Amino acid sequence: MKRQLLLALGCILLIAGWMSAFLMRAFPQQSDFFFLVPALLLGIGVGVTLKVLSAMRTSVVVILMAIVSVIAVNQVYPDGKISVTGFLQRMQNEVPKGKPVKIEVLESDRQGVFASDRTLNSMVDLRVQLFARIPGGGRMLAFDDAGRLYVTIPKLGAVYQLTDLNGDGFADQSQLFHFDMDRPHGLVWDKDKLYIAETSRLLQLADKNKDNQVDEVNVVLDDLPDDGGHWTRSLAKGADGFLYLSIGSRCNACEENDLRRATVMRVNPVTGETEIFAKGLRNSVGLTFSPDGKILWGSDNGRDMLGDDLPPDEINRLEKDGDYGWPYCYGNRIPDPDLGSMARCKETVSAAVELQAHSAPLGIAFGDGLKAPSTYQKSMFVAFHGSWNRSVPTGYKLIRIPFTNGQPEYAKEFLFGWFQDGKAWGRPVAPVVGPDGSLYLSDDLADAIYRISWIE
């Protein structure tokens, strides 16, 4: 009888230990020492079980109790559902393996971080060229109908035009297109009009006399919130002809007074009329539409100060009137420890893809139009700017998310190596597919734009 009681006690302790360990991933912990709870329970459970079973049988019991705990957690708390295959996939993605890719640099650009050779690592045979070096840290990218590339430079209040006249993969000409703006960030072309989102305004620019200089500026919106916090404003244009404008929060985790904060706004570019399209988005720097122009997708940067691994950064499928949780919830409707509740989170939309916390996903782009195998054409590319407050830095790379029948799968490594020897020498910002079928990527730390192409 005593033997049976000890075995039952051991099993109960093991289940309690496993469940507390699994639930750590779902709930932010108030103390860095909370991991001692599952460790203590599991240790005592193993010790008690060893008193009545051999080491081999104890190992089997420990594994069985882990399986029972997974089933129990998934039944009792479905929002924190544990997927063994998902866990294994994430573990695989966290161990980068790849082939070295030397960045091709023109002799005239061999200065700064490119004074010496730079090498990245890729999961596929790629060619990476330093397409252009630009001053001040370029951010978002857009091509016009003539195949010229435009990049916003918030620090300089400017937008530059880059042209590859001979098609060799290196910019032959860079030109200041417009300046004297308030931290210009997002930009999209609509035929002969360039829309640029400043922190406080949305502008429409035009080059009427075709001299590659802006000669007409119209203000579409002039009252965007500019009271601190996240200052970037990003843009996307849908098949419906409307512009979609992201406005980040003014804080890490708080309730906003201005309802336009932490949203994506829908803007009529002709009348300037606006409406909130989606809310609960702390800082959706990356915005892009699906290849058919009908479904809006956005990256979102999770809040800080919840530890290294919480909350996850997100890729969201943005729907009209959707509430994506911030500041009350994150990820798969998990309550924020400061402001959230289970009841409040039930009303929100879960993330379509959860990403490693503090990776800082910024620009996103679909691969349609790439001269690449179909799996890459049917992927979303996401630039990880990299962490600033994680004990073990993460990010500083370009990943891809394969799509099957319009639905995203797990994120996969694609191009990395901007973080070496404990220090970042580059920080990816935004990818865009060029008319030549290559992928272009901005880097605001190395003051660079890369051209990435597939080797056949």
pLDDT band at residue 62 under the 50/70/90 scheme: confident
**Segment 23-27 long-range contacts (CB within 8 Å, at least 24 positions apart):** 23/73, 23/77, 23/80, 25/80, 25/82, 25/309, 26/77, 26/79, 26/80, 26/334, 27/80, 27/334, 27/335, 27/337
Whole-angstrom distance, CA of residue 449 vs CA of residue 209: 28
For residue 91, pLDDT beyond 80 = no
Whole-angstrom distance, CA of residue 188 vs CA of residue 164: 20
What total number of domains does the chain contain? Answer: 2
pLDDT band at residue 90 under the 50/70/90 scheme: very low
Helix axes 2-23, 55-76, angle to 10 degrees: 50
CB distance 181 to 164 below 8 Å: no
CATH of the domain at 112: 2.120.10.30
**Could you tell me which of 303, 260, 291 has the C-alpha nearest to residue 278?**
260
Per-residue pLDDT tens digits for 352-391: 999 999 999 999 999 999 999 999 999 999 999 999 989 8
> How much of the chain, in percent, has pLDDT values that exceed 70?
91
Boundary (domain end) residue, out of 53, 82, 111: 82
Per-residue pLDDT tens digits for 262-275: 999 999 999 999 99
118 occurs within a structural domain: yes
69 and 115 both lie in a single domain: no
Instruction: Please compute the mean of the pLDDT values over residues 416-445 and round it to a whole number.
Output: 97
> How much of the chain, in percent, has pLDDT values that exceed 90?
75
Q: What is the value of pTM for the model shown?
A: 0.81
93 occurs within a structural domain: no
124 and 76 both lie in a single domain: no
Cite the DSSP H helix spans in 77-229: 84-93
90 occurs within a structural domain: no
Instruction: Please compute the mean of the pLDDT values over residues 214-242 and round it to a whole number.
Output: 96
pLDDT of residue 94: 47
385 occurs within a structural domain: yes
Per-residue pLDDT tens digits for 339-355: 989 999 999 999 999 99
11 and 50 both lie in a single domain: yes
285 and 324 both lie in a single domain: yes
92 occurs within a structural domain: no
89 occurs within a structural domain: no
Instruction: Please compute the mean of the pLDDT values over residues 282-286 and round it to a whole number.
Output: 98
Boundary (domain end) residue, out of 24, 48, 82: 82
More confident residue, 173 or 102: 102
The total of other beta-carbon atoms located within 10 Å of residue 175's CB is 11
Give me the domain span that covers residue 41: 2-82
For residue 137, pLDDT beyond 80 = yes
72 and 103 both lie in a single domain: no
For residue 174, pLDDT beyond 60 = yes
198 and 338 both lie in a single domain: yes
Per-residue pLDDT tens digits for 16-36: 877 777 765 555 443 445 557
pLDDT of residue 35: 59
pLDDT band at residue 302 under the 50/70/90 scheme: very high
pLDDT of residue 2: 74
Can you count the helices (H) and strands (E) in the chain? 6, 32
442 and 351 both lie in a single domain: yes
281 and 408 both lie in a single domain: yes
CB distance 205 to 194 below 8 Å: yes
Per-residue pLDDT tens digits for 176-204: 999 999 999 999 999 999 999 999 999 99
Boundary (domain end) residue, out of 32, 49, 82: 82
More confident residue, 279 or 74: 279
87 occurs within a structural domain: no
200 and 240 both lie in a single domain: yes
CB distance 340 to 375 below 8 Å: no
**Worst-scoring range by mean pLDDT, 5-19, 205-219, 278-292?**
5-19
350 and 245 both lie in a single domain: yes
50 and 124 both lie in a single domain: no
Whole-angstrom distance, CA of residue 68 vs CA of residue 87: 17
232 and 329 both lie in a single domain: yes
